[in-house]
Structure 1
Amino acid sequence: MTQTSNDIRAASAISRPSRRQMLMITGFAAIGGGAAFNWDWLTAVGAAPLILSLAPCAAMCALGLCPSLRGSMGPAEHPVESNIMTRITPTHRRIRIALWTGAIAIAVLVAVFAVLRRDQNHAAQTVYHGEANIRSEFSLVDHHGQAVTQEDFAGRWQLIFFGFTHCPDICPTSLAYMDNVLELLGPDADQIAPLFVTVDPERDTPEVLKDYVANFHPQLIGLTGSQDQIAKATDAFKVYREKLPAKTGPHGYMVAHAGHFYLMNRDGGFEAVFLESEQPAVEMAEQISTRIENERKTH
């Protein structure tokens, strides 16, 4: 009876994970959790495949089930331990199979999650593939009812924002931000054509735009047009927009859109893109002033 009790206690001591093993398990679980929420970054740096490939090995070794590590520990120090290890080998084999199965299932779930997350976010993001793909090309109508194209602003810098007059927060906040930037530019603001292009031409007529832009900088020009004209303009600037049903919105819909400012040079070429949330107005004004000053030095 005493020998049996000792064997049981020895088996318990051998099979129980050590503190180091528990720390390894906890650490790996934390890494796995971080991977689920930052998968895009891990994929970008090439770490995602490594994490997936090491998952089963790390889990097995953390529990002391890695054959190579267990073999390197040398023979058992006590005959009872050797006997017990022999007897619990089938249990280890079952645990090993369960771990491999679980690791593969986790890898598949994480991969599916990453794909679904990428597809879900793709539509709502503006993707840039170089300056050549962002161009100032449009044929629209300003808030005075006059037909205009990019040629009407040739020789001036263009600061362009896409939005709509029924936008509840982003558009008025961004246009007020643009107003602040133009004020900070001082005399340099006269060299810039600030343009507000609607992504909702169905409701934003020239008359509606005229009343709306009057709330912001006096130089701000509102632009609208037909659905086809707006589609061509948003395509030229790579602007995301999507009409969405909204029971509480005016006329039963809202328009989701990107909130970028596009700075185009005097030739209509792409110069920079800004987001209100990425820098204070004074910093954006300084960046624009620097570009204008550099232009003066080279001409």
Structure 2
Amino acid sequence: MKDVVVLSGGVGGARFTRALRDAAAGQGMRIRVIVNTADDMWMAGLRICPDLDSVTYTLAGVNDEQRGWGRIGETERVSAELHAWGIGWPWFTLGDLDLGMHIARTSLLRDGVPLSEAVARLTSRWDLGAELMPMTDDEVETHVVTGEGTMHFQEWWTRHRAKLPALGFDIRGAAEAVPAPGVVEAVLEADAVLFAPSNPVVSIGPILSVPGIREALASTSAPVVGVSPIIGGSVVRGMADACLTAVGTATDAAAVARRYGARSDGGVLDGWLVDLVDAHEVGELATRGITARAVPLWMTEAEAAQRLARDALALAGSL
């Protein structure tokens, strides 16, 4: 396969994309990554794009693997000074190197540069081995409805650690948004489309909510294969279980696949990778029009992650 598109968000998506790039090294594969931007927000006058930055830093090799977010070797002097002035959220710390990215991006946006072009300019600093594409140039932000009021997703996720039961998710601006330039074309031109093991509700879900993207997935001749973010009834990373519970979906690999649905039945999936411990779900998914395979999903080390990426490509190639 020479043209692969990945739908990605968050750390899991970033690590899967890196593994795909490394597994395909030297094969001339073009990798385009459509990244969730509904986690984005304005803070201290800056446009913060957490998922775009996570994917960028991971592919560039400058991410902090221990913390799982931000730049390696960070300092936080500017954040401390901002907090002393009462600016920003004291529970949402931005590193000094990370602030450099936010300042540069905001400067471009204030000059009238669309987000997609800003991403292209900023990521050209590194040889990422993949092309990053925001899902839209329009501002889309996820807000979480709770019993204590509605709040930005980052407040619910970072401050409250998703402990406040969510009653629903309001992806503001999505219905009016337009796919970023090249996003629909990338899906239609691809040899394969892969859903990274990202949060299906607040990472992949917002991408699918932008009018035109789901329709492109329905129309593309490329096989669409997803990787489960759930192993043995538990989340691989983060707090996706809290999100799934809020939308009435069980924390289960097959349940997430059913939520996406089979393309043959109006959904978006042709294939689905589950972990070996969930192999018993393969047959049930087949009855719903989704070809599933059980393979090791844990990306505990580079070789395991690359093997997973190859398994995803192999499943796509068989469909």
What TM-score, normalized by structure 1, do the two folds share? Answer: 0.25
Compare CA radii of gyration and give the structure with the larger one: 1
